[in-house]
Amino acid sequence: MLILTCPNCGIAADETELHAGGEAHLTRFGAGSSDDEFESYLFMRKNTRGVHFERWRHSNGCGKWFHAARCTTTLEVFGTYTAKTTQPPADLIAKIKAKRPDFEGFTK
Amino acid sequence: MSTRLQNGGRLVDRSTKLDFTWNGKRLTGFKGDTLASALLANDELLVGRSFKYHRPRGIVAAGPEEPNALVGLGQGGKYEPNQRATTTELFNGLTAKSQNHWPSLEFDVGGVNRVMTRFFPAGFYYKTFMAPAFAWKHVFEPVIRKAAGLGAAPAAEDRDADRYEYFYAHCDVLVVGGGIAGLAAALQAGKSGAKVLVLEQENTLGGRAPVDGVTVGGKPAQDWIDATTKTLHALENVRIRTRTMGAGVYDHGYALGYERLTDHAPEIAGPRHRLWRIRAKRILTATGAIERPLSFAGNDVPGVMLAGAVRDYMANHGVSVGDRVVVATNNDDAYRTAIALKAAGLDVPAVIDARVVADGALPMKAREMGIRVEVGKAISSVYGNKRVTSVGICSQAGEGTKTDELVCDAVAMSGGWSPVVHLWSHCGGKLNWDTEMAMFRPDPARPPLGADGAGFVLVAGTANGYLDAATAIADGHAVGAQAATEAGFAAGEVAAPVGASEAEGPILAVWSMPQGQNKKLQMKTFLDYQNDVKVSDVRLAAQEGYESVEHTKRYTTLGMATDQGKLSNINGLAVLADSLNADIPQVGTTTFRPPYHPISMGAIAGEARGGLFKVLRRTPIHDWTDANGGFWEPVADWRRPYCYQQAGESVKDAVKREILQTRNSVSILDASTLGKIIVKGPDAGKFLDMLYTNMMSTLKVGRCRYGLMCSENGFLSDDGVVARLDDETFLCHTTSGGSDRIHAWMEEWLQTEWWDWKVYTANVTEQYAQIGIVGPNARKVLEKMGTEMDLSAEALPFMAFADGEIAGIKARPYRISFSGELSYEVAVPAAQGQAFWDAALAAGAEFGITPYGTEALHVMRAEKGFIMIGDETDGTVIPQDLGLNWAISKKKEDFLGKRAQQRPHMVDPKRWRLVGLETEDPAMVIPDGAYAVDGTTQANGVKHMIGRITSTYYSPTLERSIAMGLVEDGPERMGDTIMFVRTDGTTINAKIVDPVFLDKEGARQNV
């Protein structure tokens, strides 16, 4: 039962209020894309052990989507941030690096 | 025999007698008894039969770790199987019965399994029932089903008569366990100002300290417990709940508590159990320890009990388990039991101590009292069947050759104590093996981590591995302060309580008694009492290659019973380690999973039963439908009428009548459940072009267009009619079950992918009642209702809508049709839905207007070959499969699902595609989901399938059976006859036809 703070409404929400949306910052490939591009978009996911960026929706709350950076093994939450971005904010990356020196940074 | 002593029993009130029934026998106990102590007081030593061998079993423990004394409690709607006698408080009128025996507890036929022990080894099921195949179904399964199961399930017709509820609680520090360590911790945390919640599973606070003669500050522990409890109660920020077990610890400081409110006193009104859903900044577990049995032959004979439990029953309930009690031990603590027994005037023939030296304070005191202490000795075997009659003594170092035999009627055993680390471990707290103390204890350096990356579970006292009272209470004090500090409070200025108890000498790890126990004795030495797992079973598993403790657990069923191995796990894994020649920490423990102790299903359900189980959505016409013959069926969160039954009419006849009425005159339909989503903004058209497969941006204001939505996998996900209200505003209709899902789908794309597009959405499904007036006379009905709107075909053609007033109600009729008839779906404000409905019924009376339900709707749409999401689609169907290419734009650069529909499998001409099907026999309706076969057989022996039925009905309009289905090469095989298989193997022939069965040119709706 995770608690994540929704950056849109500021509420520290129980997992029962939230809906998980899978890996964050995927690049959408639509019509005209190559087979490899489309495969990467539709099927290939990271399944990270450690620092992971993911999408959540505050579905039983304000209804808005947001992003969370979380450790998949310890469940430590490094931060949540807006859904309106294609990559994690730099200050969050810096914060994670400070806590996890072996974290290599965000890669698509 | 076990009996009530003349004196003693700190928890019982001898002035209040309680009557109860045990297997129909009327017995008496005292207020303060548990069912277990009351049974022992009445010399009811035999309480049940074991699961596999049906061996006679007696009470072993005095708490939730009890593996044997599982009983069926109560009757009728209050009946519950598998309740522990040791945690069941006695009340007047309690009825209990024993389990797992037939025909009676005393005489049990299943006991024959016991004689067959050597034929029931570990993995018996896997080994025995392999072949022949028929034997499983006809021989093994019926026999096993009759014998299997623990206790009897409540009767199917009995509804649980009790009420349950949830509590949501938030606190800074949750203390689980109200023993002296937990109380010391709660006091420290409470004085700091932190909001503290203390949970204690028993009905009293203080834990074992009063039983074990602990002193605090030089006075009996009870004095300190009473004073501390009083102080805690006076603190407004501290809440204490007894009879409330900490059941589980979960991520980010979430914990479950299980409160038993009325189990001890059914006359109390209110809920029976309460599930506490707790969020705490810090969880402090002070859950104590559980004593381990010793592994000697015959350790399951009734009368063999844990030494601590024997002491508990004497001190707490004034009950002795026997007149002559042999004590078997590997540690000093069990001497407390010997001393207590002797002090109560009972006979202790000997203390059998596996250690070579026992010269600590407690053994010396025992000797001073005249108790015979035999060091370096072991019990070779316990004798007796339904109760202990004697024990054989042998050398601990040997193989079990009996050197002496002691007559006795009970055995008190202690293999040492294991800290209760369950709650610490539930969420990933790690353990260390303490060789000197022979136990797993929490590793404070590796706690479960919270959202901030810091440990959120702390452990104190005995649960932390401090088995002596002095360090346990000091640890509670210190960890309580630590928890408060970590939760953001300055620890209070409470003086550290000074506890004391007799010093204990070192324990000797004894996993087998005697050391080199021969095979014959191993087969009588039980590790898991409830599941009948013996030392020989674990050794066999090891021999057969089961090296992982998790595999051994599943192979032997060790620790898989309802006690979840509270007594057996450590002993079992020690035997496994020994068999594998490995160290105990190398073998490790199995995973600790919540709940700590079984909790009732009622508590898990809480109030969610009956009408509260799920929210029901009601249309504005719901109550009218309910009062006018509506035959309900669930549709998503709604109820919709399958049909409207008239007096004396069958469901089938009602459907037929409704269809013919619609086709021949006019009917009325409650279509309010249809999803209605407003999409508005300068980019609304562009957005809908991405969402739908067809072009929506070109739709003219005042017009409607049928559209399809696909997932990014290309599969059809929803359909519906889109209306353009003005330049920037569209209203999208979705399926009845799809409104929330599609609204969320739109929002997901707008918020996470195209957040710079200027579009807003609003789900207005429940703002409108949508009422269909359907049939050749539909226009006449609306005109008669009174309107200035021009509803003619010229002014309001098919697939157009207009705003106006009908019957004085603001209305928006859409000229859309799901039946193929002249049809107006009229949206009116929800609050006026019933008024509009009533006006339509009145105006339509002269045309015989009646309402129709979902089945008539389904049949009529199938007659017209219209697809239905969920019938023709199942998450693997693309629009192209359904012949809907006309609704897939070729002009648009992109839309959701377009790329996927270009994948090789999606353009495969062999994909099954939609056709209509007419049976050779017009009266024969093909079963839904039936498969089409071509008469050939695949390599795997299965009939080769070439299609399947997606919709199938009897059409009253056409007076014949019609069906739709997906068939390989179907559209190219018009006129061919193919074969469908029924589940009984017989076949039905059907001709492939156009899926539009009625009015192919659409003349009926274009009027």
Q: Which of B279, B751, B899 sits opposite A29 (nearest CB)?
A: B899
A104–chain B nearest CA distance, Å: 19
Task: Put residue B240 in one of left, alpha, beta given phi > 0 → left and psi -120 to 50 → alpha.
Answer: beta
pLDDT at B494: 84
Contact at CB, B449 and A75, closer than 8 angstroms: yes
Q: B425 and B342 in contact (C-beta within 8 Å)?
A: no
The ipTM value here is 0.98
B452–chain A nearest CA distance, Å: 6
pLDDT at B797: 96
State the average pLDDT for chain B.
94
Q: B249 and B203 in contact (C-beta within 8 Å)?
A: no
Residue B247 has pLDDT above 90, yes or no: yes
- B451 chain-A contacts, CB cut-off 8 A: 2-3, 75-77
- Tell me which residue of B307, B321, B306, B303 sits closest to B5, measured CA to CA: B321
At residue B476 the predicted structure's pLDDT band, cuts being 50, 70 and 90, is very high
Residues B977-998 have a mean pLDDT of 96
**Which residue in chain A has the smallest CA separation from B451?**
A76
pLDDT at B223: 98
Contact at CB, B251 and A77, closer than 8 angstroms: no
- A15 chain-B contacts, CB cut-off 8 A: 251
Cβ neighbors of B127 (< 8 A, separation 6 or more) are: B121
Residue B911 has pLDDT above 70, yes or no: yes
Q: Report the DSSP beta bridge partners of residue B250.
A: B254
pLDDT digits (tens, 9 = 90+) for B792-850: 999 999 999 999 999 999 999 999 999 999 999 999 999 999 999 999 999 999 999 99
pLDDT at B129: 54
Lowest-pLDDT choice from A95-99, B216-220, B491-495: B491-495
Contact at CB, B451 and A30, closer than 8 angstroms: no
Residue B118 has pLDDT above 60, yes or no: no
Return the higher-pLDDT residue of B480 and B56: B480
pLDDT at B55: 84
Residues B981-1003 have a mean pLDDT of 95
* DSSP category for residue B980: E
pLDDT digits (tens, 9 = 90+) for B552-573: 998 998 988 888 889 999 999 9
- Alpha carbon separation from B424 to B169, B194, B460 (Å, rounded): 20, 21, 10
Q: Which of B254, B453, B898 sits opposite A1 (nearest CB)?
A: B254
DSSP string, B28-59: EEEET-BHHHHHHHTT--EEEE-TTT--EEE-
- A32 chain-B contacts, CB cut-off 8 A: 893-894, 899
pLDDT at B665: 98
Q: Which residues of A touch B (CB under 8 A)?
A: 1-3, 14-15, 21, 28-33, 38, 41-42, 55, 57, 59, 63-65, 71, 74-77, 83-84, 99
- B893 chain-A contacts, CB cut-off 8 A: 31-32
pLDDT at B135: 63
Contact at CB, B894 and A83, closer than 8 angstroms: no
Cβ neighbors of B539 (< 8 A, separation 6 or more) are: B522, B575, B579
Residue B492 has pLDDT above 80, yes or no: no
Kindly list the strands in the beta sheet with B760-763, ordered across the sheet, starting from the edge strand earlier in the chain: B704-710, B716-726, B729-734, B675-680, B760-763
| Secondary structure element (H or E) that encloses residue B802, with its range | none
Which tokens in the block code for residue B906? Answer: 């999606």
At residue A51 the predicted structure's pLDDT band, cuts being 50, 70 and 90, is very high
Tell me how crowded residue A29 is: count the other CB atoms within 10 A of its CB.
18
Contact at CB, A3 and B898, closer than 8 angstroms: no
- B713 chain-A contacts, CB cut-off 8 A: 42
Distance, in Å, from the CA atom of B720 to the CA atom of B334, rounded to the nearest integer, reads: 76
pLDDT at B491: 81
How would you class B920 by CB atoms within 10 Å of its CB: exposed for 0-12, middle for 13-18, buried for 19 or more? exposed
Contact at CB, B894 and A32, closer than 8 angstroms: yes
Q: Which of A33, A74, A83 sits opposite B752 (nearest CB)?
A: A83
How would you class B495 by CB atoms within 10 Å of its CB: exposed for 0-12, middle for 13-18, buried for 19 or more? exposed
pLDDT at B1007: 86
Residue B127 has pLDDT above 90, yes or no: no
- B249 chain-A contacts, CB cut-off 8 A: none
B450–chain A nearest CA distance, Å: 6
Residues B410-432 have a mean pLDDT of 97
Distance, in Å, from the CA atom of B649 to the CA atom of B652, rounded to the nearest integer, reads: 8
pLDDT at B115: 56
Distance, in Å, from the CA atom of B80 to the CA atom of B20, rounded to the nearest integer, reads: 16
Distance, in Å, from the CA atom of B526 to the CA atom of B53, rounded to the nearest integer, reads: 12
Backbone angles phi, psi at B285, to 5 degrees: -100, 120
At residue B140 the predicted structure's pLDDT band, cuts being 50, 70 and 90, is low
Which residue reads 């330049």 in tokens?
B727
Best to test chain A binding among B430, B752, B760, B906 (most A CBs inside 10 Å):
B752
Residues B23-52 have a mean pLDDT of 93
* DSSP category for residue B722: E
End-to-end CA distance of chain B: 96
pLDDT digits (tens, 9 = 90+) for A68-94: 999 999 999 999 999 999 999 999 999
**Which residue in chain B has the smallest CA separation from A30?**
B899
Contact at CB, A3 and B752, closer than 8 angstroms: no
* DSSP category for residue B103: B
At residue B157 the predicted structure's pLDDT band, cuts being 50, 70 and 90, is confident
State the average pLDDT for chain A.
95
Return the higher-pLDDT residue of B138 and B513: B513
pTM, two decimals, is 0.91
Estimate the crossing angle of helix B651-664 against helix B854-863, to 10 degrees: 50
DSSP string, B745-799: HHHHHHHHT-TTS--EEEE-GGGEEEEEEESTTHHHHHHHH-B-S--STTTS-TT
Amino acid at B68: N
Helical H segments across B440-544, by residue range: 469-486, 519-522, 535-543
pLDDT digits (tens, 9 = 90+) for B265-318: 999 999 999 999 999 999 999 999 999 999 999 999 999 999 999 999 999 999
Contact at CB, B254 and A28, closer than 8 angstroms: no
Q: Which of B451, B752, B753 sits opposite A76 (nearest CB)?
A: B451
How would you class B984 by CB atoms within 10 Å of its CB: exposed for 0-12, middle for 13-18, buried for 19 or more? exposed
Distance, in Å, from the CA atom of B895 to the CA atom of A31, rounded to the nearest integer, reads: 8
pLDDT digits (tens, 9 = 90+) for B645-700: 999 999 999 999 999 999 999 999 999 999 999 999 999 999 999 999 999 999 99
Q: Which of B450, B451, B893 sits opposite A31 (nearest CB)?
A: B893
